[in-house]
Amino acid sequence: MDRLLAKDAVLETVYTLAYSLDQLDRKGILSCFKPDTPFTFDISTVLGHPATDLTPEEYYQAACNVLGGFHATHHLLGYPLVVYSGGELEAAHVKVYISAFHGLEGPDGGIAESATAYVSWNLDVELWEGKWVVRRLVVKKSALDHPGS
């Protein structure tokens, strides 16, 4: 039963991060991390940027810079896999596929153009002060650019 309760709490952190990114909700995003503590963010296979350590506030600002340019975003998560590190329920690795919709506003206020990125989130999370927080987030392409190649 402890394992199921821990999994539910881990997933609540992952879902909160995805939902908060769509809303650019600062409080929600920051709640997914240990305050003022850098974590590793790696989006190198998607955008080519090298992995870097960011504070939660720096991550929020980066998200605003990228996602704020879209009229709408929606991160739809598939079924996540949670694997605990060791026998204790204090650290885990989460892998989840995501279809990430990004829409640009048209002259009529609706969506004029859109792009959907198919990626996976690979997160290392740890139990900190009774809640699960992200320590590492790796975003990887999960679909080929040219199917069949």
Check whether 144 has a pLDDT greater than 60: no
**pLDDT at residue 45 in the model:** 86
Q: What ranges do the domains of the chain cover?
A: 3-141
| Three-state SS at 82 | strand
**pLDDT at residue 78 in the model:** 93
Query: What CATH architecture is 3-141?
Result: Roll (3.10)
Torsion 15-17-18-22 (CA) sign:
positive
Contact criterion met (CB below 8 Å) for 14 and 33 = no
Lowest mean pLDDT among 29-38, 51-60, 91-100, 135-144: 135-144
Band of the pLDDT at 137, cuts 50, 70, 90? Answer: very high
Check whether 102 has a pLDDT greater than 90: no
Candidates 82, 91, 77, 85; CA nearest to 142 is 77
Query: What value, to the nearest 5°, has the Cα angle with vertex 22 and ends 131 and 77?
Result: 70
Tokens 């996540």, residue located = 80
Q: What is the pLDDT of residues 10-47, one digit of tens each?
A: 999 999 999 999 999 999 999 999 999 999 999 998 88
Contact criterion met (CB below 8 Å) for 11 and 107 = no
Q: What is the pLDDT of residues 69-91, one digit of tens each?
A: 888 889 999 999 999 987 789 99
Candidates 3, 12, 6; CA nearest to 31 is 12
User: Which pTM does this prediction carry?
Assistant: 0.89
